[in-house]
Amino acid sequence: MKVYSTDEKELIMEPFLKWAGNPNVVIAVKAFGLKATVQVVDLQVFGQPRVTLKPLVPSFPCFAKIVVSLMQKPHVDFGLKLVGADLMSIPGLYRFVQEIIKDQVSSMYLWPKTLEVQILEPTTAMKKPVGILHVNVLKAMKLRKKDLLGASDPYVKLKLTESKAPSKKTTVRHKNLNPEWNEEFSMVIKDPETQASELFVYDWEQIGKHNKMGMNVVPLKELTPDEPKLMTLDVLKNMNPNDAQNDKLHGQIVVELTYRPFKGDDLPKDFDNSGAIQKAPEGTPPGGGVLVVTIHEAQDVEGKHHINPYTRIIFKGEERKTTQVKKSRDPRWEEGFTFMLDEPPSNDKLHVEVLSTSTRTGLLHPKEKLGYVDIRLADVVSNRRINEKYYLIDSKNGQIQIEMQWQTPS
């Protein structure tokens, strides 16, 4: 790997890549009314790309564009088997195919030709943060029932307009049409005159897409700097003032918003531009904090006898469980758990395992483990927030997405 330093706002890397494998790729070929299957074997790819991240900007993910080019012709080697024979052993064919591949790829991407991928709009990305919006989602009232049987399972998702930062979510309040959260979130503001805070209320579902219950929008220019504003907002079907569905009562949501502009030009060092700094609630021990663990979803989990997965969390002797999702290899939970601690868990691990229990009685295997992961929390403490997918141990292809936040009083 070569890394170049320049006077421009860019990062240039030149990794030398070698990949060799024995894939099982079968290609069906049709020509002149005849059909044959060809197997690709012994695939090898060597190359030296130049990857440029530019311009570097003060917005997540910190660059506006990816530019890729090849510094030399790539080497692609493979065998083709037809009815057990290697076609590439035919005299002259191997070199002919090699040159065609090199010439075709080089004509598109050999330096100075490039492949450009736009990540952010440059003019927006170059704007510097000017303040922080604090949002306290307090409660909702008289939400409309979405489930046919029983009450809904609401949660609130927050997002800023003109921002690529991930949206924020409250925890799910199960079977409650008058939920209380009192959860705080903070987001970077770049243009308070044009940006707005979007609030969406969703009904959590174990299987399938979560149902949107309603929304509302608060333009930031309506907020007086450094003054908290308590607002009771109607939950609307959409923001179209002419939509007759907005005349129906969908409920209300109570939030407190505070816009705090920076006094200087610099962003606070402890602020994560990609997410939100959330303060621990009152009553948190001095020097301690709150570890918030959100189990989002799992993928490709498999059981030998049944597949009704749920997640169990074990931390410092405490055990927490998500709800069970029946007959799903790709369960979604979106459930959060909190652990109040006297000190940062820098030397601790979080044990998360996915299990399945049978819905029938009398089986020989009523419970089985589908995989587990042990996560060191030192990175969570130092980064304040991590949201990643982890491969499950003792699982063939299973993964689980877990978000962790370390919240402190200040």
pLDDT of amino acid 84: 60
Q: What's the pLDDT tens digit per position in 81-140?
A: 775 666 666 677 667 777 777 777 777 777 778 888 887 776 666 667 788 899 999 999
Nearest CA among 377, 359, 371, 374 for reference residue 398: 371
pLDDT band at 275 (very low <50, low <70, confident <90, very high): very low
- Token pair 């029983």 is at which residue? 150
**Alpha-carbon distances, residue 161 vs 188, 201, 218, 225 (angstroms):** 11, 17, 10, 19
- What is the distance between the alpha carbons of residues 268 and 188, in angstroms, rounded to a whole number? 11
DSSP sequence for 159-219:
EETT--SPPEEPPP-TT-SS-EEEEEEEEEES-TTT-EEEEEEEE--SSSPPEEEEEEEEE
pLDDT of amino acid 272: 47
381: left (phi over 0), alpha (psi -120 to 50) or beta: alpha
The model's pTM is 0.47
Phi, psi of 325 (to 5 degrees): -110, 120
Nearest CA among 139, 270, 262, 152 for reference residue 211: 152
* Average pLDDT of the residues in 60-74: 83
pLDDT of amino acid 149: 64
Long-range (24+ apart) CB contacts under 8 A made by 315-318 are: 315/291, 315/339, 315/348, 315/350, 315/351, 316/341, 316/345, 316/348
Nearest CA among 185, 186, 178 for reference residue 254: 178
Q: Is 301 exposed, middle or buried (0-12, 13-18, 19+ CB in 10 A)?
A: buried
Phi, psi of 264 (to 5 degrees): -115, -165
In terms of average pLDDT, the best of 69-73, 109-113, 356-360 is: 69-73
For residue 236, the 8-state DSSP code is B
pLDDT of amino acid 5: 77
Judge whether residue 221 has pLDDT over 70: yes
